[in-house]
Amino acid sequence: MISSTILLTILPVVLAVPHPMITPAPTLRDAPTKVRGYHQQRDIIDDVTSDLKGLTSYVESVLGSYPSYVADGVANFFQDFPTGSSVQSSLGLSDDQIDALPTSVLNIPSYANWTEQGWNLRYRGNVYKQPNTSTEDLNELANVFLIGTDITSLPAAEQDQARNLTAEIFVIQQGGENVTFHIEPAASQGGDGESGGGNSVTPGGGAQNVTLMGQTTVEGDFDQFIPLANVSGPGGYLLAGNATLSPQRLNVYTNGSLIGNATSYLVPPTGLTIISDIDDILRITKIYEPAQGLLNSFAKAFVPWMDMPTIYANWSSSLPDTHFHYLTTTPEQVTRNYMDFIYKTYPGGSFDTRPLNFSDVSATLSIRKFLLDKIFETYPQRKFILVADTSNSDVMKDYPAMVTDYPNQVQCIFLRNTSSTDSGDKFPYDTSGFEGINQNMYMFFNVPDDLNDLDISNGQCYNASVIQNVTFSEQGLPFGLSESAASRTGMGWSVTAFAVAASLSFALL
Ligand SMILES: *[C@@H]1O[C@H](CO)[C@@H](O)[C@H](O)[C@H]1NC(C)=O
Ligand SMILES: *[C@@H]1O[C@H](CO)[C@@H](O)[C@H](O)[C@H]1NC(C)=O
Ligand SMILES: *[C@@H]1O[C@H](CO)[C@@H](O)[C@H](O)[C@H]1NC(C)=O
Ligand SMILES: *[C@@H]1O[C@H](CO)[C@@H](O)[C@H](O)[C@H]1NC(C)=O
Ligand SMILES: *[C@@H]1O[C@H](CO)[C@@H](O)[C@H](O)[C@H]1NC(C)=O
Ligand SMILES: *[C@@H]1O[C@H](CO)[C@@H](O)[C@H](O)[C@H]1NC(C)=O
Ligand SMILES: *[C@@H]1O[C@H](CO)[C@@H](O)[C@H](O)[C@H]1NC(C)=O
Ligand SMILES: *[C@@H]1O[C@H](CO)[C@@H](O)[C@H](O)[C@H]1NC(C)=O
Ligand SMILES: *[C@@H]1O[C@H](CO)[C@@H](O)[C@H](O)[C@H]1NC(C)=O
Ligand SMILES: *[C@@H]1O[C@H](CO)[C@@H](O)[C@H](O)[C@H]1NC(C)=O
Ligand SMILES: *[C@@H]1O[C@H](CO)[C@@H](O)[C@H](O)[C@H]1NC(C)=O
Ligand SMILES: *[C@@H]1O[C@H](CO)[C@@H](O)[C@H](O)[C@H]1NC(C)=O
């Protein structure tokens, strides 16, 4: 039995998805205020095209100021996950039952920079307990995410995946914990994919134990840099950062947690780092088609997008010493599934996902820039290749901003134009940030083949045969809705995008 509070805590997820195929779960219909809002919302959305202003102010007032899924420009289902005590109480677990559970650690593959004190390694992750939730309870919880689809109607493999993800979300976070790691040279990165990123090497030594300073945050998170001691091993020492161009691999095992292993990278001060988003560039998500996006995120096995694995494999072998860093704003709770897919499909590398303390709306909007700033500041002399797609409004703003904020550090920006190949993408995107940037530095591309035959190391990042069609303003709006219609609302395109998507959805009812 699951109490209704837990269902209410994830209600915003449901409201985040205005789509015809999606009928809210019955439990949610009975929720007092927000559900009334949902029906009103439908009425108002019906005449959205004639009264955009009415809708946008309505969205603001009913759903609060700038709900994050609106502000992101696209429905965002991975929102408002439950935290510590709400999971415990909703599953009816006593403190004794919690105490008896083993402690698990999500240890996110990270990176080190070379400093006056030697290698400075970042430790980032989360300490939690995984309750033994029954299949029935997981089904009930999964159904809330799978709006409009009953989990039992899915094929067995998809049911397992949906329960697996749901279980990862419904964990009990452990604050105030001490965390200790054991470090060893890594022969390869775990998983069946290509081992290592960009020909990274195994150091000769460096085995040691490290204890984090202080304890985990209330959300169970940790994130800190600690210098590594230069200890010798059977094969010698760690190579100094100014004595090699190759990233070195270290395994970082969390003491006391069998699933707390990660491979981290010691990355030299100079060289190339590829920072890659994952959804709709490395895998098919269709985040801009809410019903499909939900199933692709919660139930279906992750599928690579076209030939992208070939492109990355080529970059990994033809751009020696390249460091791969996967930077997505998907919440930390689902990181394991993303890592599992990436390491089976793409070159090994470090990871960044949304930390748990980024929960309120303004914080949600700032995550990508926060994560980008962190890695740029860690490597002030490295050059970065930024890869993503046009369906994220934060990418469209933050990627070009890195060009001005960190002069000479951005080598290339590659953005898949999801609207050009996918008629299901009705969301506009804003290219104004690219005005004034040298065309050689960036490319809006349609299919992975467009990325062939570039000379990335010499800064030739544009394939002249790929039509750019960049207006340096908002573009890609369907049905000839004009820019002025949206600017009249004074709210910008995010809200307009929501309104348009909503009108498309409900028009079909
Ligand atoms: C390498 O870095 C160390 C520590 O910063 C410094 O002591 C040493 O002189 C450097 N070596 C070279 C060749 O620059
Ligand atoms: C989890 O619960 C199921 C039955 O509810 C039981 O069969 C299983 O042994 C439990 N697993 C653990 C690790 O406690
Ligand atoms: C964490 O370590 C400190 C000493 O560094 C100790 O006082 C404290 O009891 C430890 N906390 C836990 C939960 O083990
Ligand atoms: C690390 O700690 C373990 C005990 O947990 C100990 O057996 C091992 O020798 C330590 N390793 C180093 C390199 O200090
Ligand atoms: C560690 O010490 C060895 C021997 O002094 C030296 O060759 C190596 O460069 C040092 N490595 C680091 C990472 O400081
Ligand atoms: C690792 O944890 C075990 C108990 O789980 C403890 O005995 C050991 O001292 C720990 N090692 C370190 C290096 O903290
Ligand atoms: C993590 O590493 C430890 C130590 O090598 C190993 O025993 C354990 O099986 C590993 N866990 C996973 C999930 O690979
Ligand atoms: C879910 O799947 C991932 C990836 O296969 C795995 O690492 C993880 O342990 C699973 N989680 C649960 C709660 O079963
Ligand atoms: C989250 O925590 C990190 C440190 O772990 C901090 O730098 C960041 O500002 C925090 N963000 C928010 C939104 O609280
Ligand atoms: C290493 O990274 C830390 C954390 O981002 C940063 O504060 C520091 O300036 C970096 N050091 C160097 C030498 O780049
Ligand atoms: C592989 O990557 C290299 C370096 O970017 C590039 O020169 C080469 O053309 C690529 N090969 C293909 C088939 O794209
Ligand atoms: C170029 O963009 C405009 C505005 O988004 C669009 O109407 C047009 O179809 C696009 N043309 C091509 C060739 O992609």
Residues linked to residue 265 through DSSP beta bridges, in sequence order = 111, 249
Task: For ligand 2, pick from 99, 104, 132, 135 the residue to mutate: most ligand atoms within 8 Å of CB.
Answer: 132
Q: How remote is the CA of residue 225 from the centroid of ligand 10, in Å? A: 9
Q: And the tokens for 185?
A: 């040279």
The residue whose C-alpha atom lies closest to atom 6 belonging to ligand 4 is 209
For 95, counting Cβ atoms within 10 Å of its Cβ (0-12 exposed, 13-18 middle, 19+ buried), the class is: exposed
pLDDT, tens digit only, all 509 positions of the chain: 454 433 333 333 333 333 222 222 222 222 222 222 222 333 323 333 233 333 334 333 333 333 334 344 444 556 667 776 778 887 888 999 999 999 999 999 999 999 999 999 999 999 999 999 999 999 988 887 777 789 999 999 999 999 999 999 999 999 999 999 999 998 875 433 344 455 688 999 999 999 999 999 999 999 999 999 999 999 999 999 999 999 999 999 999 998 999 999 999 999 999 999 999 999 999 877 777 888 888 899 999 999 999 999 999 989 989 999 999 998 899 999 999 999 989 999 999 999 988 876 677 778 999 999 999 999 999 999 999 999 888 999 999 999 999 999 999 999 999 988 888 777 788 999 999 999 999 999 999 999 999 999 999 999 999 999 899 998 876 544 444 444 433 333 344 444 434 433 322 22
d(CA 76, CA 72): 8
The CA-atom distances, in angstroms, between 495 and each of 251, 335, 491 are 44, 28, 6
For residue 315, the ligand closest to its alpha carbon is 11
Cβ of 259 below 6 Å from ligand 7:
yes
∠ CA 92-170-133 to the nearest 5 degrees? Answer: 55
496 near 428, Cβ under 8 Å? Answer: yes
Residues 6 or more apart whose CB falls under 8 angstroms from that of 136 comprise: none
Residues linked to residue 463 through DSSP beta bridges, in sequence order = none
Shortest-distance atom of ligand 11 to CA 452: 14
The residue whose C-alpha atom lies closest to atom 11 belonging to ligand 2 is 132
Cβ of 258 below 6 Å from ligand 7:
yes
Q: What is the DSSP annotation of 134-197?
A: -HHHHHHHHHHHTTT--GGGS-HHHHHHHHHHHHHHS-EE--S---EEEEEE-SS-SSSS-SSS
Q: Which residues of 104-113 are buried (b: 16+ CB within 10 A; e: fewer)?
A: bbbbbbbbbb
DSSP state, residue 304 = B
Q: How remote is the CA of residue 256 from the centroid of ligand 6, in Å? A: 7
Residue 466: per-residue pLDDT? 96
Place of tokens 């993503």: 388
Q: How remote is the CA of residue 231 from the centroid of ligand 5, in Å? A: 8
Cβ of 208 below 6 Å from ligand 4:
yes
d(CA 305, CA 341): 12
Shortest-distance atom of ligand 10 to CA 113: 1
∠ CA 401-406-412 to the nearest 5 degrees? Answer: 70
The CA-atom distances, in angstroms, between 96 and each of 41, 42, 86, 374 are 44, 46, 16, 40
Q: How remote is the CA of residue 6 from the centroid of ligand 2, in Å? A: 22
Cβ of 115 below 6 Å from ligand 1:
no
Residues 6 or more apart whose CB falls under 8 angstroms from that of 505 comprise: 18, 19, 20, 45, 290
For residue 322, the ligand closest to its alpha carbon is 11
The residue whose C-alpha atom lies closest to atom 14 belonging to ligand 11 is 452
